[in-house]
């Protein structure tokens, strides 16, 4: 049976719903950033959008592009990998099932990420992050533990700011990442969809992790939560091409212990706010 390291036990506690004795802090975004993917024009900017944080499961978006580009992933449904309790972690019940690229992105299946990263190795992934200019590009992992291939994006060495998330997403929307166009289109198609407003849709990825203090120590009572993605359902002017997605990033930084996933709070609060931001609220 797989033995969970202390880090993962702590992460599981941090992201699963906690008891009523834990105070709920206000859901106030550290950053909300919305921009046009074609011109880079910023439409909404609130908070500090230049400070980096762990990408957590939002890293699955560049990893999906890498996976499709290297043929580690071949379609939204393949490879299909059966859950193995002796090999795979399962912090939540939805992970105890056969996973595909689509369910991996939808359900944030950590063990499926490892099915992609381990065969590629650091030497296969690091050059992509450099070409993507993805955050600090640091895949080294936890100091002294040689675990970058499985841990770098999980409250460890890899970090990215909301503005850098927007830059990556804009290139993905414009199919201008330095990889095959088909790889980008497969990653876009495979990403989960969510509804907002009146019959409007976004595609995006959540991520939950921990903040770090000034000396790099993980603060397990301070969650961070991401929701990043794109939408083509916004009121465009006459001179804006119809297929011009907006890209967005919302980052929550909790200032104390909280209930539930910070990522879900980031997602649900942004979906509620989007009609107001986009001027489509009734």
Query: DSSP code of 48?
Result: -
Residue with tokens 């590009």: 137
Q: How many CA atoms lie within 13 A of 237 on its CB side?
A: 2
State how beta strands 246-253 and 29-36 pair: antiparallel
Of residues 127, 9, 107, 6, the one with CA closest to residue 62 = 127
The active-site residue out of 3, 20, 37, 57 is 57
Which residue stretches of 53-139 are H helix?
60-70, 101-107, 110-132
Across 234-260, b (16+ Cβ under 10 Å) vs e yields: beeeeeeeeeebbbbbbbbbbeebbeb
Of residues 217, 224, 54, the one with CA closest to residue 143 = 217
Query: SS3 of 163, please?
Result: helix
**Is residue 57 among the annotated active site residues?**
yes
CA–CA gap between residue 139 and residue 137 (Å, rounded): 6
Query: Which CA distances in Å does 141 have to 148, 237, 265?
Result: 4, 45, 27
CA–CA gap between residue 226 and residue 155 (Å, rounded): 13
- Beta bridge partner(s), residue 225: 208, 252
- Enumerate the active-site residues: 57
């Amino acid at each position: 049976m797989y033995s969970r390291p202390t880090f993962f036990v702590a992460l599981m506690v941090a992201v699963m719903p906690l008891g009523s004795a834990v105070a709920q802090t206000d859901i106030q975004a550290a950053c909300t950033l919305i921009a046009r993917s074609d011109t880079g024009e910023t439409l909404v900017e609130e908070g500090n959008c230049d400070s980096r944080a762990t990408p957590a499961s939002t890293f699955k978006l560049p990893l999906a592009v890498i996976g499709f580009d290297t043929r580690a992933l071949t379609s939204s449904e393949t490879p299909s990998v059966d859950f193995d309790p002796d090999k795979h972690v399962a912090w939540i019940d939805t992970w105890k099932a056969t996973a595909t690229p689509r369910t991996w992105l939808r359900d944030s299946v950590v063990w499926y990420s490892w099915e992609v990263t381990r065969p590629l190795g650091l030497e296969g992934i690091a050059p992509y992050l450099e070409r993507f200019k993805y955050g600090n590009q640091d895949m080294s992992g936890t100091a002294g533990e040689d675990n970058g291939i499985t841990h770098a994006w999980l409250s460890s060495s890899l970090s990215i700011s909301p503005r850098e998330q927007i830059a990556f997403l804009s290139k993905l929307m414009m199919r201008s990442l330095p990889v095959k166009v088909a790889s980008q289109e497969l990653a876009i198609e495979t990403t989960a969809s969510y509804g907002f407003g009146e019959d409007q849709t976004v595609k995006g990825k959540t991520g939950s992790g921990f903040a770090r203090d000034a000396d790099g120590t993980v603060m397990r009572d301070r969650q961070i939560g991401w929701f990043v993605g794109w939408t083509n359902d916004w009121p465009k002017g006459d001179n804006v091409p119809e297929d011009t997605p907006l890209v967005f990033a919302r980052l929550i930084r909790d200032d104390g212990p909280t209930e539930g996933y910070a990522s879900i709070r980031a997602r649900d609060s942004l979906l509620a706010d989007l009609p107001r931001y986009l001027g489509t609220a009734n």
